[in-house]
Structure 1
Amino acid sequence: MMTMEKAQKIIEAGIVKAKQIGQPMNIAVVDAGANLTAFVRMDGAWLGSIDIAINKAFTAKAFDISTLELGRNSQPKDQFFGINVSNHGRVMIFGGGIPIKLNGQIVGAVGVSGGSGEQDHAVAEAVVAAAS
């Protein structure tokens, strides 16, 4: 189960990684129902990335797949082409959202936004690693 305390604790790993790469980030964690459980906006992180981080976490949990992988499968002629306009435009199809598993079960997801897709994904991976 993804509690507020657990979410806040694992967000700390994302903050550490974001500081290591020198990129302030917005980091969101949702629970198994895709409900926002914890969020942090680091000093200097883009305001426009707040919703993106939350929506990346939503997407990763709603579809139980990383946003990076979903993006790879949503290109023209691929099976999920056009998925980004579903769910009232909340679906994100670029790196930074990853499901969080505990004991083999998906209990939530993280969404990170504020840097390049590669940077967002790296910070999200740090959060997921801290959860296990």
Structure 2
Amino acid sequence: MKLSQATTMLDVALAEAQKRGVSVCISILDAAAWPVAFIRMDGAPLGVIDVAGKKARTAILFQMDSEVFAKIGCPGGDAYTLENTNGGLTSFGGGIVLRTADSTVLGSIGVSGASTEDDIAIAQAAAKTLTA
């Protein structure tokens, strides 16, 4: 993951959040789950700083979007309480695995602070910059 790619994604995510009228935190990690970029919009609650990072971490560590992870980590799921591993993960949407057009995994993005649907949409808008 290049810093230039991460900053482009931050710009797109910020624009999408502003379009939706929400304040969020955005965390971008590389393929080894190390931070590349982070931003907290004015008005985003402090608690979502950690949540954005955990959404991104969940996506990259399990190579699946956190929304998909939520389906296996929920009560009744095949891996209920899996979110308690790896120092804490997140079992709801907003974390997206970042892939190039040829499906190479570059890292992940986590967005938190709005509704789950808005968080997912903001992350997806940013992720599209890698395949455009």
TM range (shorter): over 0.9
Which residue of structure 1 lines up, in the alignment, with residue 126 of structure 2?
127
Q: Where do residues 26-45 of structure 1 align in structure 2 (5 Å cutoff)?
A: 26-45=25-44
Q: Which amino acid in the other structure matches residue 26 of structure 2?
A: I
In structure 2, what is the equivalent of residue 96 of structure 1?
Answer: 94
Could you say which residue in structure 2 is the equivalent of 1:85? 84
**Please, what TM-score do these two structures have when normalized by structure 2?**
0.94
Supply the RMSD in Å over aligned alpha carbons: 0.9
Report the AA paired with residue 120 of structure 1.
D
Gaps of 5+ in 2: none
- How far off is 1:77 after superposition? 2.9
- Give the CA deviation at 1:76: 2.4
Q: Secondary structure at the match of 2:87?
A: helix
SS at match of 1:73: helix
The aligned length equals 130
Q: Is the 8 A contact 2:27 2:110 kept in 1?
A: yes
Unaligned runs of 5+ residues in structure 1 are: none
The equivalences for 1:10-89 within 5 A come to 10-89=9-88
**Percent of aligned positions with the same letter in both sequences?**
34
Distance 1:88 1:7 in 2: 24
- The runs of at least 4 aligned residues of structure 1 exceeding 6 Å deviation read none
How far residue 105 of structure 1 moved from its aligned partner, in angstroms, is: 1.1
Question: TM-score scaled to structure 1, two decimals?
Answer: 0.94
Cα offset for 1:59? Answer: 0.7
Equivalent residue letter for 2:129: A
Which amino acid is the alignment partner of residue 26 of structure 1? C
Query: What are the Cα deviations for residues 85-114 of structure 1, in whole angstroms up to 9, with x where unaligned?
Result: 11122x101010000001211110000001
Corresponding letter in the other structure for 1:100: L
